[in-house]
Amino acid sequence: MSENVSQLVEGLRRVMEEQREEFKKSLAMKNRQQEALKSGDSSQMTALTNEESALGRRLSELEGERKSVWNRIAAATGRPESELNWDNLSVELSTEQAQAFSALLDELGEMLQKLVSLGRVNEHLLRRGLERTEFIVRAAGGTGPGTYGPDGEKPEKGPGTRVDRQA
């Protein structure tokens, strides 16, 4: 393997390790988000939503960096990007590098699966919280979200709606 490709592969490894660290932060944030959803702590949810956005932006930047290095490796090896994959790249790596990359890829894959799973659980908890809030508003005599029109903006007309109360 040429020195340039070796340096690019090392750069790719560093980017992927940064991704791993951001995934760890995302997993921890998703767990805190789940606890906030269970406790109903809206102020904590707001802070966690902001943290989630920042982590998402950072992961997006790292993915762009990873793709850029991958494209540079393809150019340096003389292979079209569409033909470059881990199997034919690992042939050009030392056994130690290939094993390290394989372990890193496995770990990133497991983390992604955990993130997807936590995201689904949190989505379910959020939906339950919204349903509970809607029930409480209706039980307390409020009009709840059902009094608004399909566009979500204009209130429906009729007894007990905002339009009726303003008249």
Instruction: Tell me the mean pLDDT in the region 152-158.
Output: 57
- Which is higher by pLDDT, 26 or 147? 26
In tens, the pLDDT along 20-46 reads 999 999 999 999 999 998 888 888 988
Residue 46 lies in a domain: yes
Residue pointed to by tokens 């939503």:
49
Contact status, residue 160 vs residue 147, Cβ threshold 8 Å: yes
Residue 149 has pLDDT above 90, yes or no: no
Instruction: Please state the domain count of the chain.
Output: 1
Residue 121 lies in a domain: yes
Residue 138 lies in a domain: yes
Q: What percent of the chain has pLDDT over 70?
A: 83
Instruction: Tell me the mean pLDDT in the region 98-115.
Output: 92
Residue 154 lies in a domain: no
- Which is higher by pLDDT, 54 or 126? 54
Cα 18 → chain centroid: 15
Rg (the chain; Cα; Å)? 25
What's the pLDDT score for residue 164?
Answer: 46
The predicted model scores a pTM of: 0.72
- Average pLDDT over all residues of the chain: 83
Distances (CA, A) of 53 to 34, 90, 125, 137: 16, 34, 19, 30
Tokens of 166: 């303003």
Residue 161 lies in a domain: no
Residue 163 lies in a domain: no
In tens, the pLDDT along 58-103 reads 999 999 999 999 999 988 888 888 888 888 788 778 888 888 888 9
- Which is higher by pLDDT, 138 or 63? 63
Q: Could you tell me the residue range of the domain that residue 135 belongs to?
A: 3-145
Residue 124 lies in a domain: yes
Residue 108 lies in a domain: yes
Residues linked to residue 155 through DSSP beta bridges, in sequence order: 148
Instruction: Tell me the mean pLDDT in the region 121-143.
Output: 82
What's the pLDDT score for residue 131?
Answer: 86
Instruction: Tell me the mean pLDDT in the region 139-163.
Output: 58
What's the pLDDT score for residue 167?
Answer: 43
- Contacts of residue 156, Cβ cutoff 8 Å, sequence gap at least 6: 147, 148, 149, 163
When pLDDT is cut at 50, 70 and 90, the band that residue 165 belongs to is very low
